[in-house]
Amino acid sequence: MAHKKKGRRVYTYRSKNHRVFSQYHPMRSAVGSVLTLLAAAFLGLVGYNIIGPIVTRMEAEKVSPTTTPDPYFETPQQTELIAEQTVPVLTAVTTSLTTMTETTVMTTTTTEPLPLRFPAGVNVSCALPESALTDLSALDRAVEAAAKEGFTGILLPLKQTGGKLLYASANEKAQTCGASAENALTLREISNAASRSKLSCSAVFSTLNDHVYPGYFTDGSYTFPDGTTRWLDDKESEGGKAWLNPFAEGARIYLSALAGEMQSAGFERIICTDVVFPHFYNSDLEILGAQVADPARRSGAIVQVMNDIAAAAPSACCKYDLSEIVNGKSEGFDPQALQTASVCFQINLHAFTQPFYANNERYDPTSLSESDRIGMIAQVAKKLAGNMQMIPLIDRTDLEDDQLDLVVKAFADAGASAVYVTETQASGETAESAASDQT
């Protein structure tokens, strides 16, 4: 039997490796699924730890925005930046990756005001010397020293005994007669210096003991019957001087104008001093008339001067010595006739150690404690002031600080809303003079 011839045999290759990289291969699908799950888990973890806190913080900012103080301006409460602290916040991204963010926390505090030295509601002013008005720097130093001592106001001598002004006045007659200090500070500069330290500003204003104005103008001076020859308090060769005449309208107009410009410049009170007459000889009475010797007319003239000044400057008041009133030696004190809102009593506590009378009432301080004696003096001053506001002017020369505080409290309890404090020195200046010179 013949054998059938066979051709070359061809084998086909059907191994599994033949489709391993096919997109339909099951292994490739499994690997892709695993990678997708890992990526989703990673993104979920990142979103939870980073995006979540950011969204939460943004929502919190909408409810309560973070504020920081302006670095260029002080707040009215004088808020000060105390510390800037950084608080690290760790956020896990993965088990092998961490990041640090910083949140700035601003801590602030409010400066507490210094405790008041004197009772609330009473303005206590200290008298400054003439040297405080030398220039603006000297005034600023004196004002700052008064503020540090606990005072809430200052008292400045703006019109000296004799008639000279310690400021540059805008009054034409004051400039003409030479009373104005042309190179000195203006009233506005003076009051602004006090305001910078948040202190009030008051003036001491000498009135009738003025030789400058009547030495130039005759309308405000004592004159002989001819109306042109000035009366002098002594021979001209002996240095005799002219005086302002309270009976003369020109004198009252001049004083009222000066007080008015002080009021307009922001001065809280104008304390009028030297509301007095010069000494007259018998020969003078024949020349000037009996009015200068008649007690009633003299008192009426002083009251008229003060009422005219108060009409131009409502804050003006006249200074009287309380012990002289009690002893019947004060001239021109008439509470019923005076139209001023207040009256200033100069008080020397050492003058009230023995029994005395006031308004026909007897007072005996001999058996009282110091605080009770001061309280009694304050009540006497209040009664004598009548319907006017009582303003005490205290000489602290022999008083310790605690005694001065006791005096201020006693007058505050008696109804005084303002107290003025002076200190007499051998040189004639106040204690604040030495303080300002040392500053």
Question: Which whole-number Å values give the CA distances from 252 to 24, 38, 197, 232, 265, in the listed order?
Answer: 120, 103, 34, 19, 20
H, E, C per residue of 343-398? EEEEECHHHCCCCEEECCEEECCCCCCHHHHHHHHHHHHHHHHCCCEEEEEEECCC
**Helix H or strand E segment including 203:** strand 200-206
**Helix H or strand E segment including 131:** none
How far apart are the C-alpha atoms of 123 and 128, rounded to whole Å?
A: 16
Residue among 195, 219, 297, 202 at smallest CA distance from 259 = 202
**Tokens representing residue 347 in the block:** 């008080």
pLDDT mean over 162-177: 97
Q: Which of 65-79, 215-229, 242-256 has the lowest mean pLDDT?
A: 65-79
> Which position has the higher pLDDT, 253 or 108?
253
How far apart are the C-alpha atoms of 439 and 431, rounded to whole Å?
A: 13
pLDDT-derived band at 54, boundaries 50, 70, 90: low
**Tokens representing residue 277 in the block:** 């007459």
Q: Would you tell me how many other CB atoms lie within 10 Å of the CB of residue 105?
A: 11
Q: Is the pLDDT of residue 365 over 70?
A: yes
How far apart are the C-alpha atoms of 325 and 358, rounded to whole Å?
A: 8
61-70, 159-168, 389-398, range with greatest mean pLDDT: 159-168
Question: Which whole-number Å values give the CA distances from 333 to 139, 324, 406, in the listed order?
Answer: 34, 10, 28
Q: Would you tell me how many other CB atoms lie within 10 Å of the CB of residue 187?
A: 22
Quote the pLDDT of residue 426. 43
Tell me the pTM.
Answer: 0.71
Helix crossing, 187-196 with 136-148: angle to 10°? Answer: 40
Q: Is the pLDDT of residue 26 over 90?
A: no
How far apart are the C-alpha atoms of 275 and 304, rounded to whole Å?
A: 11
How far apart are the C-alpha atoms of 128 and 146, rounded to whole Å?
A: 9
Q: Is the pLDDT of residue 273 over 90?
A: yes
> Which position has the higher pLDDT, 166 or 62?
166
Q: Would you say how long the chain is, in residues?
A: 439
The single-letter code of the amino acid at 286 is E
> Alpha-carbon torsion 68, 74, 75, 77, what sign?
positive
> Which position has the higher pLDDT, 93 or 10?
10
Name residue, tokens 């054998």.
Answer: 3
> Which position has the higher pLDDT, 391 or 398?
391
Q: Which of 3-7, 37-41, 72-76, 366-370 has the lowest mean pLDDT?
A: 72-76
> Alpha-carbon torsion 72, 77, 78, 84, what sign?
negative
Contact partners, residue 312, CB within 8 Å, separation at least 6:
256, 257, 259, 260, 263
Beta bridge partners of residue 418, listed in sequence order:
123
How far apart are the C-alpha atoms of 79 and 66, rounded to whole Å?
A: 17
Report the chain's mean pLDDT, rounded to a whole number.
82
Q: Would you tell me how many other CB atoms lie within 10 Å of the CB of residue 148?
A: 12
DSSP 154: E
pLDDT mean over 339-347: 97
pLDDT mean over 406-410: 94
Q: Is the pLDDT of residue 192 over 90?
A: yes
SS3 of residue 138 by DSSP: helix
Quote the pLDDT of residue 356. 95
Q: Is the pLDDT of residue 60 over 90?
A: no
Quote the pLDDT of residue 397. 87
How far apart are the C-alpha atoms of 264 and 257, rounded to whole Å?
A: 11
Quote the pLDDT of residue 125. 97
* Phi then psi dihedrals of residue 357, to 5 deg: -115, 145
Contact partners, residue 70, CB within 8 Å, separation at least 6:
none
